[in-house]
């Protein structure tokens, strides 16, 4: 009689390891805190505008909010995928066992989702009404479907008076205000899930939730900047093609670029601030462990300074922290440099998650042996797909696919107006400028 031993395929054991020890939590559990972190970060970024009145983030705020919603739909997927019985995942709602740090996940997650959806609703309420009115009576299945969709989404609140709009703004502010601590809680809580495992020498630290929150904001802001750049560049690329047809209006292209770089520069200042906080906390944790040097330090030291040296100090800190830090602080930040820096930051945060989740399992409970995770590349069964490269790519890509569809009904990136000669071009630039203000 033989079965399938979870973890056997991607775990290499060295020296003295208990027979039942394997890398049980693999790449999907790396993706899970990465994605909830992105949700929290994107939401905090949008709240900076709504709650703290950071006017320079206005352009980014709407985008970040909707993006956060898309990420939110994607965040539970790695959790579901890593379950041995994914079809029983909903038991957490039926029989939550509240001494477990995971059990409240459903409640925290759902309440956060309600807040985000409610905020999106208030932000888009006027848009729903406008669309529903404009689409009324229009021919075609798609138009009629959209009319129905937007009409339902108004939830019967058709009031567009000044007073009603004021209520909208107030509600947005309140929701964004509640949302910030809840977003922090959602992610700090993901940190608690790891930090409270007393059996794991690397994970167990009260700093874990705070470290997770800071790195979450870093990753969320970085992803927002990067995605924003990519979308804007793509649209510019489209414009460029159109301009080639209309000829002789290069100045408008430059103006577009100017508006964008402004947003990027302002947002990246917040990114740098949170990066410093995250880096400081992680360093504090490392120094504290080395200084106190309790029983488990010997094995941790070997993991941190020898076995995972490249992963931690080269990939995470040098490439993912210090390098982008310099790139962002170097004067006259360009879009290209910002794109590179934010991509590196995202890589750094991914490596941080990887080094926590996989690094925490790379030494044995015996403190006298090691385990190595060999990421399955080509899947040959469902397990090696889920817990391998393609599983991670799937969960990583889904939020962007969700965002594509959500953006279709809740447009949040500045639209490019189709150009018909010079007049049209001037108008479209005006539109973009207006949105940038």
Partner 1 sequence: MEIKRRDFLRVMGAAAAGATVGGLFRTLTPKEARAAVYATNKKRWIFLVDTHKCVGCGMCVRACKLENEVPYNDPVTRTWVERYVILKSGKAIQDTPMGGLNGYTADDPQGQKINSDDIAKAFFVPKLCNQCEKPPCVQVCPVGATFQTADGVVLVDRTWCIGCGYCIMACPYGARFFHPIYHTAEKCTFCYHRISKGLQPACVFACPFGARNIGDKKDPNDPVTKIVLTERVSVLKSEYGTSPQVFYLGLDENVR
Residues lying near partner 1 in the complex (CB under 8 A): 1-8, 15-16, 18-22, 24-25, 82-85, 88-89, 91-92, 94-103, 105, 155-159, 164, 167, 193, 197-200, 295, 364-368
Cβ closest to partner 1, residue 80 vs residue 335: 80
Cβ closest to partner 1, residue 2 vs residue 254: 2
Cβ closest to partner 1, residue 187 vs residue 315: 187
CB of 136 to partner 1, least distance (A): 16
3-state helix/strand/coil string of the chain = CCCCCCCCCCEEEEECCCCCCCCCCCHHHHHHHHHHHHHHHHHHHHHHHHCCCCHHHHHHHHHHHHHHHHHHHHCHHHHHHHCCCHHHCCHHHHCCCCCCCCCCHHHHHHHHHHHHHHHHHHHHHHHHHHHHHHHCCCCCHHHHHHHHHHHHHCCCCCCCCHHHHHHHHHHHHHHHHHHHHHHHHHHHHHHHHHHCCCCCCCCCCCCHHHHHHHHHHHHHHHHHHHHHHHHHHHHHHHHHHHHHHHCCCHHHHHHHHHHHHHHHHHHHHHHHHHHHHHHHHHHHHHHHHHHHCCCCHHHHHHHHHHHCHHHHHHHHHHHHHHHHHHHHHCCCCCHHHHHHHHHHHHHHHHHHHHHHHCHHHCECCCCCEEEEECCCCCCCCHHHHHCCHHHHHHHHHHHHHHHHHHHHHCCCCCCCCCCCHHHHHHHHHHHHHHHHC
Cβ closest to partner 1, residue 218 vs residue 299: 299
Tell me the C-alpha distance between 289 and 304, whole Å: 11
Cβ closest to partner 1, residue 84 vs residue 292: 84
CB of 387 to partner 1, least distance (A): 11
CB of 129 to partner 1, least distance (A): 11
Cβ closest to partner 1, residue 167 vs residue 207: 167
Cβ closest to partner 1, residue 173 vs residue 337: 173
CB of 120 to partner 1, least distance (A): 15
Q: Is 93 left (phi over 0), alpha (psi -120 to 50) or beta?
A: alpha
CB of 119 to partner 1, least distance (A): 14
CB of 100 to partner 1, least distance (A): 4
Cβ closest to partner 1, residue 149 vs residue 204: 204
CB of 178 to partner 1, least distance (A): 14
CB of 24 to partner 1, least distance (A): 4
Cβ closest to partner 1, residue 149 vs residue 167: 167
CB of 183 to partner 1, least distance (A): 21
CB of 371 to partner 1, least distance (A): 11
Tokens of 182: 């809840």
Distance of CA 42 to the CA centre of its chain: 6
CA angle, 63 then 184 then 118, to 5°: 50
Beta carbons of 21 and 5 less than 8 angstroms apart = no
- Residue 418: CB atoms within 10 A of its CB come to 10
Cβ closest to partner 1, residue 1 vs residue 251: 1
CB of 92 to partner 1, least distance (A): 5
Cβ closest to partner 1, residue 95 vs residue 434: 95
């Amino acid at each position: 009689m033989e079965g399938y031993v979870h973890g056997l395929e991607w775990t290499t054991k060295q020296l003295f390891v208990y027979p039942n020890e394997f890398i049980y939590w693999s790449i999907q559990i790396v993706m899970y805190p990465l994605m909830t972190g992105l949700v929290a970060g994107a939401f905090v970024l949008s709240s900076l505008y709504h709650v703290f009145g950071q006017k320079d983030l206005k352009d980014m705020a709407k985008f970040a909010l909707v993006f956060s919603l898309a990420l939110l739909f994607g965040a539970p997927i790695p959790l579901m995928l890593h379950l041995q019985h994914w079809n029983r995942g909903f038991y957490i709602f039926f029989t939550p066992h509240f001494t477990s740090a995971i059990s409240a996940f459903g409640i925290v997650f759902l309440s956060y989702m309600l807040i985000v959806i409610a905020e999106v609703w208030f932000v888009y309420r006027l848009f729903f009404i406008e669309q529903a009115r404009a689409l009324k009576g229009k021919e075609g299945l798609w138009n009629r479907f959209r009319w129905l969709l937007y009409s339902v989404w108004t939830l019967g609140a058709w009031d567009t008076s000044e007073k009603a709009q004021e209520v909208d703004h107030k509600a947005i502010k309140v929701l964004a205000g509640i949302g910030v601590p809840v977003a922090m809680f959602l992610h700090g809580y993901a940190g608690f899930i790891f930090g409270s495992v007393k059996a794991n020498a690397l994970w167990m630290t009260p700093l874990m939730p705070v470290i997770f929150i800071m790195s979450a904001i870093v990753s969320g802001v970085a992803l927002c900047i990067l995605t924003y750049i990519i979308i804007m560049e793509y649209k510019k690329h489209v414009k460029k093609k159109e301009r080639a047809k209309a000829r002789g209006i290069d100045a408008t292209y430059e103006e577009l670029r100017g508006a964008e770089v402004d947003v990027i520069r302002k947002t990246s200042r917040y990114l740098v601030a949170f990066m410093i906080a995250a880096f400081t906390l992680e360093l504090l944790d490392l120094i504290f462990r080395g200084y106190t040097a309790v029983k488990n330090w010997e094995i941790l030291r070997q993991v941190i300074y020898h076995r995972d040296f490249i992963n931690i100090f080269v990939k995470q800190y040098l490439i993912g922290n210090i390098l982008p830090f310099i790139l962002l602080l170097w004067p006259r930040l360009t879009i290209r440099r910002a794109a590179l820096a934010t991509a590196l930051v995202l890589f750094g945060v991914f490596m941080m998650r990887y080094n926590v989740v996989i690094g925490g399992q790379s030494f044995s409970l015996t403190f006298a042996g090691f385990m190595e995770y060999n990421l399955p590349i080509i899947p040959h069964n469902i397990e090696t797909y889920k817990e391998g490269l393609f599983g991670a790519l799937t969960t990583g890509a889904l939020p962007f696919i969700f965002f594509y569809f959500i953006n279709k009904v809740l447009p949040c990136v500045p639209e490019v107006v189709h150009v018909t000669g010079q007049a049209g071009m001037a108008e479209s630039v005006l539109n973009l400028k207006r949105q940038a203000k």
